[in-house]
Structure 1
Amino acid sequence: MTATFSQRRQEIIGDEPLISAVKDRWPALFSERQLSAEFSRIVTKDLLESFLDGLDALVPGVLQMYGEAAASGRRVRLSSVLSCLQKEDTNQNKRAAVLLGLPCYLAEDSSDIIRMCDAHGETLDVLMSGMQVGLLIGHEGPLHDAFPLDVFNVALVVEEKIILHDLRDVSTGFAMLLGAIYCLNLEYPRNMKYSFEFLQRVVMNIKPDQCSARIHGLRNKMLRYRM
C-alpha cells in the first residue's frame, strides 16, 4: 500500500471515481489499519491517537459549554445528551456526548449523517437510505436515551453502502470517518460542515489557521473555559 500510494492518490483525486470503484480497485484500503496508515501518509499524523488526544483535552470544557447552552434554553436537545452521562459517566460516554452533541450545539441537522441502528429494527438498506457520508451506531433494543450507552458496533457509510464496520465505539467511528473523508477525497457533509471543520481544525489541529470565522469564535470561547 505504501508503494502504490502515489498512484492511488492520483486516481482518487484526478478521476474522482465512485467509492464502489475504489473499493474494487483497492480493497485493502478498506480496513481500520489501512485507513489509519493512509491518513498518516497524507497528513503525517496518527489518526486515532491524534483524534482521541485532541478530543480528551477538550471534553471538560465542551461539556461545560453544552451545560450552559442547555440551561439557557438555547439548545434544548443538549439536555438529553448530557442526561445520558448521569446514568453512566464513563470516559467513552463523555467522548460520545461531545461528538454527538456537537451538531446540536452548532444548530446543524445530523439526521442524514449519524443514525442509530437497533439490531432488531429496520433493515440496513432502509437505515442507510440517503446517507452519502456518515455513521451507523449499533445498539441492542429500543433507544430510550439521546445516544446508546452500550454500543456493539459502529459502521462507516459512504454512498449508501457500508465501507467499514465492527468499530468499537463512537469516538473511533468519528475518527475513522474523518480518515475516510481524507483518504477517499470526500467533501464534508453539508449539513454538518461546521462540526467536521471543528473536528479537523480544533480536535485534530490540522491547519488550524484556516478555520472559518464561526469555528474560530468557538475555539476562542473554549479557551476561556480552559483558563
Structure 2
Amino acid sequence: MEEKQLKSRWPALFSERQIQAEFQRIVTTDLLSSFLVAWPQHCWRKMTQMRRRTAALLGLSHYMSGENQANVIRMCDAHGDTLEEAMKGMRVGLLIGYEGERDAFPQQIFNVAVVVEETIVLHNLKDVACGLAKLLGIMYSLNLQYPLEMKYSFEFLQRVVMKIQSDQASAKVHGLQNKLGRR
C-alpha cells in the first residue's frame, strides 16, 4: 500500500504524538512511560544479565520458543540493503537501520522505523525500545492483531511489562514470567 493510501486511511499513524494520545485514550496510561519505565522495574534476572535493553527486547522471541521474528523485526545494513528489500512482506514490524559489524544484534543502530503494510509510518526513533513501544501503540490503537510469528512476545510486553489486562495472560506468557522470576 502506498504512503498516500495509508495516510488517508490512518492519518494518525504518521504522528508520534497522536499515537501516544490515542493509546492514552484507550488504555488510560502513558505509552512510553509504561513501557520504558516498567522494563527495568521487573529486573528479570536472565534478561537483565544481557545488560542491554535492546538485546533483551530482540531476544524476547527466543525465550518464547517457537517464535520467529524475521517477518516482524528486520535489520537493514546502511551500506547494503535497500528499504524496499528490507520491508518486503512486512505487514507490521520494526526496521532497524545499522552500520558496522553485526553479531547477535547490531552495535551501531542509527535509525529505528515502524512499518505497516510495507510502508514506513514512523522513523528516526531513538532506539529499539522506543520503536517497540510505538509499534505496540499503533497495533493497540488500530486494533490490529499481533503478528502470529511473535504473538506471545507482544502479549508478554502488553500483559507483563505494561501490565495491561495482566490477569488475561496466556499460559505461555505466565510460564515465561515465572521462569524469568527464578534464578
Counterparts in 2 of 1:144-223, with a 5 A limit? 144-223=102-181
Tell me the distance in 2 between the aligned counterparts of 1:200 and 1:62.
Answer: 19
TM-superposed deviation, 1:25:
4.7
In the alignment, what sits opposite 1:135?
94
Is the contact made by 2:63 and 2:176 (CA closer than 8 Å) also made in structure 1?
no
Q: Which residue of 1 aligns with 2:22?
A: 38
Q: Distance in 2 between matches of 1:100 and 1:59?
A: 16
Amino acid corresponding to residue 128 of structure 1 in structure 2 = M
Report % sequence identity: 59
Amino acid at match of 1:182: Y
Q: Report which structure shows greater RCO (CA 8 Å, sep ≥6).
A: 2
Aligned to 1:52: 36
| Structure 1 position 200, deviation (Å) | 0.5
Distance 1:99 1:121 in 2: 25
Q: TM-score, normalised by structure 1?
A: 0.74
Q: Is the 8 A contact 1:59 1:95 kept in 2?
A: no
- Find out whether 1:112 has 2:71 as its counterpart: yes
Residue in 1 that maps onto 2:80: 121
**Closer, same or farther: CA 222–60 of 1 in aligned 2, 3 Å:** closer
Render the CA deviation track for 1:195-221: whole Å, top value 9, x for unaligned: 000000000000011011111122223
Is the partner of 2:89 in helix, strand or coil?
Answer: coil
Specify which structure has the higher proportion of strand.
Answer: 2
* Count of paired positions: 181
Superposed displacement of residue 223, structure 1: 3.2
Question: Structure 1 or 2: larger helix share?
Answer: 1
Provide the residue aligned with 1:27 in structure 2: 11
- Which digits, 9 at most, give the CA deviation of each residue in 1:141-196, with x for residues without a partner? 3x331111221110001111111111010100110010010112211000100100
Deviation of 1:121 (Å): 1.4
| 1:22 CA displacement | 5.2
Q: Which has the larger radius of gyration?
A: 1
Q: What's the TM-score once normalised by structure 2's chain length?
A: 0.90
Superposition deviation, residue 62 in structure 1: 3.6
For 1:220 and 1:124, the matched residues in 2 are separated by: 39
Q: Which runs of 5+ in 1 are unaligned?
A: 1-17, 68-81, 83-88
Structure 1 distance, partners of 2:62, 2:89, is: 20
Q: CA RMSD in A?
A: 2.0
